[in-house]
């Protein structure tokens, strides 16, 4: 069940049902008893839409490289993330709201118990995901319930390291349980329900259309903010491969007027605003539109990948590999494609090697797909993406902030846009201080019910 559908190869016209929690498994031929690496894919879609059956995210091509690939569905929107005091009271662990994440953990538990029958090694599991799926990977690394269920992690274009007031478009995301329960009560009222029993009696389509819901710090699935868990070295310490595309904001940015952009940035950034406006200027509407797309790329995606890698390399013992995907798919010469560079989720065509049939794919596209998918499979096999015939990928750490630049050719490079990332890092630090001050005062100006 979901509202809308988006992303490469979306399934907008497929039938929907609450009976949806299934897995799909691809194994190489003659895989029985082979103990092959397992790759479990977590789709994106903002926790509002998506499916394990999206045609451009199927696992057959990756499986041909010697891994077992699993995709699956998890509950979305209100059905996946609604918190209510009544739900918390009946749970047995005094928490509610992270049902979508619990579905992911249940899938991992199923893989642990059953994947050997499909030729997979239950002790060599890689979780990998894009967008909200990458958010989920970061949260699974922070969840004690997922401990021991996976041995590697890959995050593509998304993570969950900002404080709640740092998610400009997701004000109810990552709030505390009490705040989320208030939000849930308001949603219940909008639906005209007066109790949990009445809410459960409503059609699922009506409930899920009532409003979005996102992961929360419930003290059970998520013990604390992801940043805090990693900063204290309490994460599930596994090798990490993480990165983003060079033009994430080309598709995702909400571009407004230059005046509104400057006003919003000054309101959010306070004393850091002029520094950020020097890096992301708005002296004309065209310049402001470009800056808004670049700011979205750096703020919502590049910073998250950067801080994820930095924290893991600092407090964990497992290695980190970072990438910057900068190869543009052969989009049609029409809107909205013609104005895109390398937008959000552009790498999926290459990773899964499923291509839009009406586009003009070139030998360079196929070479990029082969290199990228081999890196991912090598990483799933050993925790190291390197292998014969591949450009050497050096680990990332605080002292050596180098990334694999994946363009028409692949090569190591210095971290792109470091000045912008450092300025955004200061902004996030400011937001974290505001969040701590608000909570110490007993309120949050971005509380879910507001």
d(CA 304, CA 315): 16
| DSSP-derived secondary structure letter, 255 | -
Helix (H, G, I), strand (E, B) or coil at 50: coil
Distance CA 313, CA 150 (A): 18
Number of H helices, E strands in the chain: 17, 9
In three state form, how does the secondary structure of 290-326 look?
HHHHHHHHHHHHHHHHHHHHHHHHHHCCCCEEEEEEC
* Residues 6+ positions from 448 with CB-CB distance below 8 Å: 171, 172, 175, 179, 180, 182, 183
131 catalytic? Reply is yes
- Which of 27, 131, 313, 373 does the annotation list as catalytic? 131
For residue 415, what is the DSSP state? P
Q: How far apart are CA 27 and CA 63, in angstroms?
A: 6
- The residue behind tokens 């406006």 is 277
- Kindly report the backbone phi and psi dihedral angles of residue 81, in degrees, each rounded to the nearest multiple of 5, phi listed first: -145, 20
Distance between CA atoms of residues 434 and 450, nearest Å: 17
For residue 208, which phi and psi values (nearest 5 degrees)? -75, -20
- Could you give the residue numbers annotated as active site? 131
């Amino acid at each position: 069940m979901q509202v809308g559908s988006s992303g490469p190869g979306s399934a907008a016209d497929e039938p929907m049902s609450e009976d949806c929690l299934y897995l799909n498994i691809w194994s190489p031929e003659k895989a029985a008893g082979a103990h092959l690496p397992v790759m479990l894919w977590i789709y994106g879609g903002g926790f509002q839409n998506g499916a394990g059956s999206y045609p451009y995210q199927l696992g057959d091509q990756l499986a041909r490289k010697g891994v077992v690939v699993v995709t699956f569905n998890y509950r979305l929107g209100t059905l996946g993330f609604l918190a209510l005091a009544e739900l918390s009271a009946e749970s047995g662990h005094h928490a509610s709201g992270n049902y979508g994440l619990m579905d992911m953990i249940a899938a991992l538990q199923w893989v642990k118990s059953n994947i050997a029958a499909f030729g997979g090694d239950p002790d060599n599991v890689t979780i990998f995901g894009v967008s909200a799926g990458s958010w989920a990977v970061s949260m699974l690394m922070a969840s004690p319930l997922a401990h021991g269920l996976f041995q590697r992690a890959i995050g593509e274009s998304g993570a969950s390291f900002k404080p709640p007031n740092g998610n400009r478009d997701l004000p109810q995301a990552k709030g505390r349980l009490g705040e989320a329960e208030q939000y849930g009560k308001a949603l219940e009222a909008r639906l005209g329900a007066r109790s949990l029993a009445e809410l459960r009696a409503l059609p699922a389509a009506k409930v899920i259309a009532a409003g979005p819901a996102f992961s929360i710090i419930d003290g059970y699935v998520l013990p604390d903010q992801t940043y805090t868990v990693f900063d204290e070295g309490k994460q599930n310490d596994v090798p990490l491969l993480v990165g983003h595309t060079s033009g994430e904001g080309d598709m995702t940015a909400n571009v407004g007027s230059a005046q509104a952009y400057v006003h919003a940035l000054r309101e959010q950034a306070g004393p850091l605003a002029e520094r950020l406006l020097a890096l992301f200027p708005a002296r004309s509407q065209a310049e402001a539109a470009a800056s808004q797309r670049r700011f979205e790329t750096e703020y919502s995606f590049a910073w998250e990948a950067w801080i994820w890698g930095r924290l893991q390399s600092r407090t964990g013992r497992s290695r980190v590999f970072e990438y910057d995907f900068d190869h543009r798919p052969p989009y049609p010469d029409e809107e909205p494609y013609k104005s895109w560079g390398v937008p959000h989720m552009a790498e999926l065509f290459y990773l899964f090697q499923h291509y839009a049939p009406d586009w003009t794919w070139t030998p360079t596209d196929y070479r990029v797909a082969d290199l990228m998918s081999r890196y991912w499979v090598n990483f799933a096999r050993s925790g190291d993406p390197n292998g014969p015939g591949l450009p050497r990928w050096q680990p990332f750490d605080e002292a050596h902030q180098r990334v694999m630049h994946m363009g028409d050719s692949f090569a190591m490079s210095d971290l792109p846009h470091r000045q912008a990332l450092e300025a955004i890092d200061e902004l996030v630090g400011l937001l974290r201080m505001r969040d701590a001050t608000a909570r110490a005062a007993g309120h949050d100006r971005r509380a879910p019910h507001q």
